[in-house]
Amino acid sequence: MAPANRHGSLVIAGESGVLVTGPSGSGKTRLALALMAHCAAHGRFSRLVADDQVFLSVAAGRVIGHAPETIGGLVEARGFGPARTAHEPRAVIDLVVQLVAAKEAPRVHGEEQVSLQGIVLPCLELAERDVEGAVFAIAARLSLSPFG
């Protein structure tokens, strides 16, 4: 299967790759940065992989994401523009977060899944622009502090 270009942000949070997707202006970058800050504040590894565009491919039955060369290591700091940050060249995607309108976001999650590149992955549908709530939902799903 050919690599696909997906609109979103990919970060490593602890030991997991988290792909954040959603409509333009839904808070993908803000959530990615907040998740990284949450991990750092609790002594867990975190790193940006890609912001805005993520190239997806499959290797050994896992979905791998990486940034296009032109934007590797750049993250959008709204009001400033692209800013350099530490980054990893690629990551296995373990969780997909889909930012949706608040009225569409379930209050409690079951075992939702999404298919990327033909691989089924766990998925959380979270309210767009609710960064604090989303960080805690992701932390709970990944057993990060204060849940792990």
Residue-wise pLDDT tens digits, 32-60: 999 999 999 999 999 999 999 999 999 99
How many structural domains are present in the chain? 1
Residue 115: domain span: 4-141
146 belongs to a structural domain: no
What length is written for the chain?
Answer: 148
| 56 vs 53: CA distance, rounded Å | 10
CATH value at residue 42: 3.40.50.300
pTM: 0.95
119 within a domain of the structure (yes/no): yes
| Average of per-residue pLDDT values in the chain | 94
Mean local confidence (pLDDT), 66-80: 92
R_g of the chain, CA atoms, integer Å: 14
Residue 74 has pLDDT above 70, yes or no: yes
